[in-house]
Amino acid sequence: MGMTMSEKILARASGRERVRPGDLVLAKIDFAMGHDLTIPPAGRIMREEMGADRVWDPERVAVVQDHFQPAKDAASAALGRLTREFAREMGVSWYFEVGQGGICHTVLPERGLVLPGELVVGADSHSCTYGALNCFATGIGSTDLACVLALGELWFRVPESLKLVYHHRLGPWVEAKDLILHVIGLLGVDGARYRAMEHTGEALGWIDMEGRLTMTNMAIEAGAKNAIMACDEVTEAYLRGRARRPYTPVRSDPDAGYERVIEVDAERVPITLARPMSPADTAPIDAVAGTRLDQVFIGSCTNSRIGDLRRAARVLEGRRVAPWVRLIVTPSSHEVALQAEREGLIRVFLEAGAAWTTATCGACLGGHQGVLGEGEVCLSTTNRNFPGRMGDPGALVYLASPVVAAASAVAGEIVHPAEVVGEPVSA
Amino acid sequence: MNATGPGSIRLRGRAWRFGDDVDTDQIIPARYAIYSLDERRLGEHAMEGVPGVGPGWAQRVRPGDVIVAGSNFGCGSSREIAPIAIRGAGIACVVAASFARIFFRNAINLGYPIVQSPAAAAAVEEGDEVEVDLEAGVVRDLTTGREHPAEPFPPFMTELMRTGGLVPWVRRRLEERRQGVG
Ligand code: SF4
């Protein structure tokens, strides 16, 4: 039997001819990432407990200030400082200071640091995002990260693969976000537990790299270990002029083994939202339309790249946010912010009455710049809506695409974007 | 741990049975997280959150006993104190049909033996005397005389187990590299 893409990467990285699901392997890491919440403990474990005085390869480590930065209080300033000092003392090549990077999962792909065929780990559960670029990418704990920083290797259990095949093409108004929410609704929050989610099928051909990153980002919401896609023209075009290292893409063999194959007719996927309090509690827009909102958040590593902001701006252009709603727009990287400035998108947001913030995780994890109070209702383009995720446990969070978010901010309630804009918008 | 010579780690004890989806809050209720640094203290409350078990379970465990559970053992939070509490109670090894991902990683990183064996999970009964052979990948039910296949431990995982987890393992590996061995 042949191997899946995920299996091929783990086999190569562990110096084996082949691996099969369930195997435990010791594998060499191609790239590792930590941020202001995970670098401080990992750095301490690495230096004090493991006795390492340098990182295995400073060229292959990224350290990003994103979760509670710019520092929201004195405690996060202390974490930011430990993170900064660690990066400096270790001579890490890819250190992203406040105002220069943004959210880790947007920054790494954007800077060409995670590439096809590679094995990538990040001390953050949404590190699975990078799999859209045909790498095996997964989230790890701080002790794991300390091990990687010290040695450049880590142990893995080879996951079983789950194959998703998307037929036809997404309909008007329906985005990658709707598709992945729909799939999480089908699978449930642990439907892909421990599994590699392999996304395939002709519908992906029409989904750009940003949309693909949105899809792989949410693999963990179904319990998956990683998500992965093949490297095609869209991937190659994205990497041109960006990739920092030569790379070798991997493909799944025609006779690779899958635990389950799930076929989805993309054409029939409706605009989909997740209802409070679980990303798997999904519903078509008609079922939740009319829900009155207090806050709309367009941000996070899921949905705040330049295309997301463009589509949101198309909706908001010449319109105003409903008087009882606060719309917060947080670009997911400094690059995205710069580009939004060049294209005049920031002006559109400001004129519509939105609050525009610096690139940070911010409101996504109830950190700062938009924390919800008890009983408040929010529509968010992020990836999680478990109780308390964005603030008070009594706040209600719906998850949706940026277009639905922008239209709903104008309407003051959840609305089908066609009711606000008429014609579908594209990036 | 009862190591019977190089290349083999065998554990022997009585089986304690648990069902499917035992989550981290059942293994060690969150209120005991304050004892995070005290393994024995945590151990006294191990498994008391499991419906129908309650406080006092750990007092009946003899050091070396094993837990035999169903699927998705250790689901829920990423709390590293879950395997620590089980170890603190004197349980030598957990055998389950399957483990939740983070529990699995945490246990291995602590150097704590866990074994996946759907066959043993289906057949072993409470109180059976079992022997777990980690490298051979076998769970022997000495009471019934039946052998159940398990996922074998590859050599490097055994090494991790012998050195006591990821931290000492990395320390040793670094040492070897410095001396040009590794
Ligand atoms: S934006 Fe949200 S989901 Fe993404 S890394 Fe930050 S906190 Fe995590």
For chain B, percent of residues with pLDDT exceeding 70:
90
pLDDT at residue B5, rounded to an integer: 41
The tens digit of pLDDT for each residue in A297-312 reads: 999 999 999 999 999 9
pLDDT digits (tens, 9 = 90+) for A403-415: 999 999 999 999 9
pLDDT for the residue B8: 63
Q: What is the pLDDT of residue B78?
A: 61
Mean pLDDT score across all residues of chain A? 96
Between A86 and B156, the higher pLDDT residue? A86
All domains in chain A, ordered by first residue: 5-242+259-265 (3.30.499.10), 272-419 (3.30.499.10)
Single pTM value for the model: 0.88
In tens, the pLDDT along B11-42 reads 999 999 999 988 887 898 877 877 766 889 99
Give the C-alpha separation, A175 to A417, whole Å.
Answer: 12
Q: What percent of chain A has pLDDT over 90?
A: 89
Please state the rounded mean pLDDT for residues A45-69.
96
| Measured distance CA(A9)–CA(A27) in Å, rounded | 10
What is the model's pLDDT at position B4? 39
Q: What residues of chain A lie within 8 A of the CB of B80, using their CB?
A: 141, 143
Higher-confidence residue of A125 and A153: namely A153
Label the pairing between strands B138-141 and A226-229: unpaired
B3 pLDDT tier (thresholds 50, 70, 90):
very low
Q: How crowded is residue A18: how many other Cβ atoms within 10 Å of its Cβ?
A: 12
Interface list for B 50-89 with A (CB within 8 A): 72, 75, 78, 80
How many whole angstroms separate alpha carbon A124 and alpha carbon A138? 8
Residue B181 pLDDT: 63
Q: Which atom of ligand 1 is nearest to the CA of A105?
A: 5
Q: Are strands B10-17 and B138-141 parallel, antiparallel or unpaired?
A: unpaired
Give the Å distance between the CA of A140 and the centre of ligand 1: 15
Q: Give residue-wise pLDDT tens across range B115-145.
A: 999 999 999 999 999 999 988 899 999 999 9
Tens-digit pLDDT profile for residues A71-101:
999 999 999 999 999 999 999 999 999 999 9
Please report, as a single letter, which amino acid is at residue A267: E
Q: Which residues line ligand 1 (CB under 6 A)?
A: A 66-67, 103-105, 124, 126, 300-301, 361, 364-365, 382-383
3-state secondary structure of A291: coil
Which residues neighbour B44 within 8 Å (Cβ) at sequence distance 6 or greater? B58, B59, B88, B89
Asked if pLDDT for residue A251 goes beyond 90, the answer is yes
Residue B4 C-alpha, separation from nearest chain A C-alpha, in angstroms: 23
Q: Is A158:A26 a contact under the CB 8 Å cutoff?
A: no
Q: In Å, how far are A56, A141, A347 from A26, measured between CA atoms?
A: 16, 16, 51
Residue-level pLDDT at B38: 81
d(Cα A104, Cα A122) in Å, to the nearest integer?
9
Mean pLDDT value of segment B146-172: 87
* Contact between A67 and A35 (Cβ < 8 Å): yes
Q: Is the pLDDT of residue A222 over 80?
A: yes
Query: What is the structure's pLDDT at B77?
Result: 61
Question: How far are the Cα atoms of A126, A132, A280, A406, B126 from residue A219, in angstroms, in the given order?
Answer: 8, 11, 12, 25, 37
- A45: nearest CB among B75, B153, B167: B167
| Residue B72 to residue A288: CA distance in whole angstroms | 33
> Are A166 and A176 spatial neighbours (Cβ–Cβ below 8 Å)?
no
Distance in Å, CA A300 to ligand 1 centroid = 6
Q: What angle do CA A216, A220, A222 make, to 5 degrees?
A: 100
Q: Is residue A150 pLDDT above 50, yes or no?
A: yes
Pairing relationship of beta strands A161-167 and A31-35 according to DSSP bridges: unpaired
Average pLDDT over residues B44-61: 92
Q: Please tell me the predicted confidence (pLDDT) of residue A424.
A: 83
- A295: nearest Cα among A364, A234, A245: A364
Domain boundaries, chain B: 2-152
pLDDT at residue A29 is higher than 70: yes
Q: What is the pLDDT of residue A271?
A: 98
What number of C-beta contacts closer than 8 Å exist between A and B?
59
Encoded amino acid at A416, one letter: H
Identity of the residue in B105, B153, B160 whose CB atom sits nearest the CB atom of A141: B105
Whether B164 and B113 have beta carbons less than 8 Å apart is answered as no
As beta bridge partners, residue A226 has A196
Instruction: Kindly indicate the confidence band of residue B156, based on its pLDDT and cuts at 50, 70 and 90.
Output: confident
Could you tell me the distance, in angstroms and rounded to a whole number, from the CA of residue A296 to the centre of ligand 1? 17
Quick check: A189 and A278 in contact, CB under 8 A? yes
Contacts of residue B100 in chain A, CB cutoff 8 Å?
Answer: 193-194
Long-range contacts of A246-249 (CB under 8 A, 24+ apart): A247/A115, A247/A116, A247/A117, A247/A118, A248/A116, A248/A117, A249/A116, A249/A117, A249/A134
Report chain B residues whose CB lies below 8 A from the CB of A155.
108, 156-157, 160
- Which H or E run contains A196? strand A196-200
Question: What is the β-pairing status of strands A94-96 and A226-229?
Answer: unpaired
> Which band of pLDDT confidence, cut at 50, 70 and 90, is reported for residue B76?
low
Beta strands A24-28 and A153-157 are antiparallel
Mean pLDDT of A16-27: 93
pLDDT at residue B1, as a whole number = 40
> In this structure, what are the phi and psi dihedrals at residue A189, rounded to the nearest 5 degrees?
-70, -15
Within an 8 Å CB–CB cutoff, is residue B108 touching chain A?
yes
Give the DSSP letter string of B24-51: HHHHS-GGGGGGTT-HHHHHHTTTTTST
Could you tell me which residues come within 8 angstroms of residue A245 by beta carbon, excluding any fewer than 6 positions away?
A: A115
Distance from C-alpha of B11 to C-alpha of A19, rounded to nearest angstrom: 28
CATH 3.90.1150.10 for domain B2-152: no
Cβ-contact A133, A116 below 8 angstroms: yes
Cβ contact, residue pair A147, B108, below 8 Å: no
* DSSP-assigned letter for residue A46: I
Pairing relationship of beta strands A226-229 and A196-200 according to DSSP bridges: parallel
Residue A224, judged by CB atoms within 10 A of its CB (0-12, 13-18, 19+), counts as buried
- Angle at the Cα of B161 from the Cα atoms of A194 and A136, rounded to 5 degrees: 30
Tell me, what DSSP letter sits at residue A132?
G
Q: What is the pLDDT of residues A265-300, one digit of tens each?
A: 999 999 999 999 889 999 999 999 999 999 999 999
Note whether B160 contacts A155, CB cutoff 8 Å.
yes
